[in-house]
Amino acid sequence: MEVPRLRLCLAIVMLLCTPLAAEDARPVLDTAHSPKAVLHGVPVSAVTLGDGFWAPRRKVNVEVSLPTLLELFEQKGILDNFRRISGKRDVPRRGPLFTDSDVYKWLEAVAFTLQSGPRPELRASAEAVIDDIVAAQEPSGYLNTYYSRENLAERHQNMRGGHELYCLGHMLQAGIAWQRATGERKLLDSGIRMVEYLLSNFGPGKKPIFTGHPEFELALVELYRTTADRRYLDFAGYLLGGDPRNHVAPRDITYLFSGKPFYTRTRLEGHAVRAMYASSGAADYYLETGDEHYFRTLQTLWQDMVRHKMYLTGGVGSRASGEAFGEPYELPNQQAYTESCAAIGNIFWNWRMLQATAAAPYMDELERALYNGANSGLSLGGNLYCYRNPLELVGNPEDKIRNPWYDTTCCPPNLQRLLGSLPGYFYSTSKDGLYVHLYHNSELRWHLEDGSPLLVAQSTRYPWDGAVELKVEPAKPREFTLFLRIPAWARKAEISVNGEPVPGVRAGAYFALRRAWKPADRVLLRLDVTPRFTAANPRVRENLGKVAVERGPLVYCMEGIDQPSGVAMFDWSLDAAGKFESEWRSNLLGGIMLLRHKAVAAATPSATEALYRPFTPAPEKGKPGVITLIPYYTFANREPSPMQVWIPYR
């Protein structure tokens, strides 16, 4: 091949490999011009994830989850709901009143996926869905398949449970992501028309309104970031501030996490997903306005979450009743509600707090929820989803914890959009340099905030292994700071640059490596991922006398199926004096590091004992044995089996 032809070919290849025109390549959260953003994200397209932990998860998401959910939307009539409004189908409306939002979340997931590379079939399917959606829009701009035709009279009548603004919020997020992925504005413009319809009817001096399910707020702020139209930010402020004309009942103010000024809240309560989305929206609003009332409230609520109301997995929402937060320390394991959407909301909120502060604890909690309480939501096969992600199961086969479909099918597309957008959570830039938040085989191709191109390549088996090699390749030598996140869980962490150890590395912080970086610089990070026991605050009543096992960012659990036969899983106690054995099992559960530990089986099987008996202080001598642990996110991927995260110890 001649050199000029080779060059041409290379140019074409490079063009094909660059999925987006530069002006569309925006981060998941576009804080580039946010006054209070210390950090600024990088586009999904800027990070290519290689082999490793997330590869099979993202592969099934694209190849199984997204197409099968679209099929289910068809089967369940969720897409027909749009087509009947446009007159394309003459069928009754199906599903609960918020089904539109599920389609929007699916579209957003597709949009993120397209940012990681072309998927022509998927894109074509999504474009057809967008056409169906936009065709259902009224000339007024109104668009919601429930509050139309036979339910027209209900429009804007049920602000508490109606999900009208919630659906619109997801429509805007999908429209924004789609535009960022493809440059196409059709869905975004349609969403803007609905926003304009709302703004002309509701707000200060017009009719009062509030979001019974927060979500619209964060979408409005991102719309403001996308369009620079300040009215959208102001409307988010109006909604977050609460219009006193709404007269929301106290129990609704609690449950809805809406209906009173956000900055007057003092604790997390009510519906967990609503609280997470409201807090995310409020954080977005703070990033743009710098209103300190919001920031103080956000910090108070965040402390309430991580000190009192969050599971070890990053899941939140303790109660089935109301899908709600409970009292401080009310964290039941078996009855944990821990909706996948709530763990995802936790991720969204922490991401926003991180942009505002660059403080590592937010990323620690994000990582916790990402690897555990959210990750568990999608089955390894990609076609089953958890709505609840409990920390204990009795193993009742009727207890179907993973299902292909829920009438309220909010979690499946939420998991899909999280996995689709995942590369966008790996890095941020700041005026000082580059922040590395997450570790995985990957390549970042982006630039510093001064515009100088930069490539960072990670080589690692993280989270299975704690060693991460980062190749830092500025286009030309350049001084900047590389901020490496040292997770709070790391009991030991070491960094070397080009083979030279760097002192002062400390867990639970970003370690700042400032130097004149030059092409081919190598950073080696070593995090201690030795398995560890974690105890809960004694106020968590159910975890007294128990420990959890963690390894790196991964929470582990016991499943009955892996334990020695002849002893019920719940009759094992960990022998706290023992050591862990780790074994890589490539053929088990998609490839996992299995853990084993010494344990003691109860002398008398609990099943044969009475429910209540006179107390005897000295525990009976038990039978020694070895128990097996698997990462929590893989639970319930085989046959029905008891499972527990918190394990009694002796």
Residue 614 within binding range of its own copies, rule CB under 8 A: yes
Selection from 359, 306, 343, 333 nearest residue 543 by Cα: 333
Query: CB atoms < 10 A from the CB of 173, how many?
Result: 26
Q: Which stretch binds its own copies (CB under 8 A): 141-149, 371-379, 449-457, 542-550?
A: 542-550
Q: DSSP secondary structure string, 558-605?
A: EEGGGSPTTS-GGGEEE-TT--EEEEEETTSTTSEEEEEEEEEE-SS-
Measured from the CB atom, the residue of 482 and 548 that comes closer to its own copies is 548
Tell me which of 306, 359, 561, 594 binds its own copies, using CB under 8 A.
Answer: 306
Q: CB under 8 A: which stretch of 2-10, 342-350, 429-437, 534-542 binds its own copies?
A: 534-542
Residue closer to its own copies by CB (options 4, 617) is 617
Other beta carbons within 10 Å of 17:
12
Please give the DSSP secondary-structure letter assigned to residue 621.
P
Q: Which of 281, 352, 345, 260 minimizes the C-alpha distance to 310?
A: 345
Among 354, 547, 554, 643, binds its own copies (CB under 8 A): 547
For CA atoms 496, 497, 501, 505, the dihedral sign is: negative
Q: Which is nearer to its own copies, 215 or 364 (CB)?
A: 364
* Phi/psi at 49 (5° precision): -85, 135
260 near its own copies, judged by CB under 8 A:
no
Question: Do the bridges between strand 521-527 and strand 509-517 make them parallel or antiparallel, or are there none, so unpaired?
Answer: unpaired
| Cα–Cα dist 190/107, whole Å | 14
Cα distance between residue 148 and residue 162, in whole Å: 13
Answer for which of 64, 72, 135, 394 binds its own copies (CB under 8 A) is 394
What span, in angstroms and rounded, lies between the C-alpha atoms of 125 and 279? 33
Instruction: With beta carbons less than 8 A apart as the criterion, state whether 41 and 28 touch.
Output: yes
Question: Is the Cβ–Cβ distance between 315 and 294 less than 8 Å?
Answer: no
| Interacting positions 569-608 with its own copies (CB under 8 A) | 570-571, 576-577, 602, 606-607
228 near its own copies, rule: CB under 8 A: no
Span near its own copies by CB under 8 A; candidates 179-187, 200-208, 301-309, 344-352: 301-309
CB of 615 to its own copies, least distance (A): 4
The single-letter code of the amino acid at 58 is: R
* Nearest to its own copies of 282, 305 (CB atom): 305
- Dist. CA 303–CA 296, nearest whole Å: 11
Segment interacting with its own copies (CB under 8 A) among 30-38, 87-95, 122-130, 543-551: 543-551
Q: Answer for the pair 643, 395: CB distance below 8 angstroms, yes or no.
A: yes
Output 86 or 334, the one with its CB closest to its own copies: 334
What is d(CA 426, CA 433) in angstroms, rounded to the nearest whole number? 14
Closer residue to its own copies (CB): 161 or 538? 538
Contact between 559 and its own copies per CB under 8 A: no
Residue selected from 88, 186, 319, 471 as contacting its own copies according to rule CB under 8 A? 319
Beta carbon of residue 85, minimum distance to its own copies (angstroms, whole number): 31
Which position among 127, 229, 330, 528 is part of the footprint of its own copies (CB under 8 A)?
330
Which of 152-160, 315-323, 476-484, 499-507 is the region at the interface with its own copies (rule: CB under 8 A)? 315-323
Residue 412: asked if its preceding bond is cis (omega within 30°), the reply is: no
Angle 386-388-393 from CA coordinates, rounded to 5°: 95
**Among 33, 206, 245, 307, interactor with its own copies by CB under 8 A:** 307
User: Is residue 397 part of the contact set for its own copies (CB under 8 A)?
Assistant: no
Residue 339 engages its own copies in binding (rule: CB under 8 A): no
Q: How far is the CB of 595 from its own copies (least distance, A)?
A: 15
Determine if 613 is a binding residue for its own copies (CB under 8 A). Answer: yes
Q: Does 400 bind its own copies (CB under 8 A)?
A: no
Is the CB of residue 288 less than 8 Å from the CB of residue 356? Answer: no
Among the listed ranges 88-96, 127-135, 375-383, 388-396, the one in contact with its own copies (CB under 8 A) is 388-396
**Under the criterion CB under 8 A, does residue 385 sit at the interface with its own copies?**
no
User: Which strand (E) or helix (H) includes residue 550?
Assistant: strand 546-551
Instruction: Select from 273-281, 324-332, 452-460, 495-503 the region that touches its own copies (CB under 8 A).
Output: 324-332
Q: Write down the least CB distance from residue 542 to its own copies, Å.
A: 5
Q: Is 308 in the site for its own copies (CB under 8 A)?
A: yes
Q: How far is the CB of 99 from its own copies (least distance, A)?
A: 22
Residue number with CB closer to its own copies (321 or 587) = 321
Question: Which residue from 551, 533, 556, 534 is spatially nearest to 631, judged by alpha carbons?
Answer: 556
Binding its own copies (rule: CB under 8 A), the pick from 119, 231, 293, 532 is: 532
Residue 266 lies near its own copies (rule: CB under 8 A): no
For position 540 contacting its own copies by CB under 8 A, the verdict is yes
500 binds its own copies (CB under 8 A): no
Q: How far is the CB of 395 from its own copies (least distance, A)?
A: 9
Residue whose C-alpha is closest to residue 353's, from 283, 451, 248? 283
Can residue 408 be called a binding residue for its own copies (CB under 8 A)? no
Query: What's the rounded Cα separation, in Å, for the pair 45 and 417?
Result: 14
Distance of closest approach, residue 545 Cβ to its own copies, in angstroms: 3
Residue 520 or 612 having the CB closest to its own copies? 612
Query: Which residues are CB-contacts of 23 (< 8 A; sequence separation ≥ 6)?
Result: none
Strand-pairing partners, residue 581, are: 596
Q: Per-residue string for binding with its own copies, 93-132, x by CB under 8 A?
A: ----------------------------------------
Taking the complex as a whole, the smallest distance from the CB of residue 163 to its own copies amounts, in Å, to: 21
Question: Closest distance between its own copies and the C-beta of residue 314, in Å?
Answer: 11
Q: Provide DSSP, 6-71.
A: HHHHHHHHHHHH--S-GGG--BSS--TT-TT-S-EE-BGGGEEE-SSTHHHHHHHIIIIIHHHHHH
Q: Nearer to its own copies by C-beta: 451 or 614?
A: 614
Any contact of residue 371 with its own copies (CB under 8 A)?
no
**Contacts of residue 34, Cβ cutoff 8 Å, sequence gap at least 6:** 225, 287, 288, 355
Q: Does 328 bind its own copies (CB under 8 A)?
A: yes
Residue 635 has a CB neighbour count (10 Å cut-off) of: 26
Q: Answer yes or no whether residue 609 interacts with its own copies by CB under 8 A.
A: yes
Q: Which CB sits closer to its own copies, 278 or 540? A: 540
Q: Kindly state the smallest distance separating residue 391's Cβ from its own copies, in Å.
A: 10
φ, ψ (nearest 5 deg) of residue 617: -65, -35
Diameter of the chain measured on Cα atoms: 90
Closest residue by Cα to residue 545 from 635, 471, 452, 647: 647
The identity of residue 75, as a single letter, is Q
Residues in touch with its own copies (CB under 8 A): 306-308, 310, 312, 319-321, 326-330, 332-335, 392, 394, 396, 491, 532-542, 544-548, 570-571, 576-577, 602, 606-607, 609-617, 646, 648-649
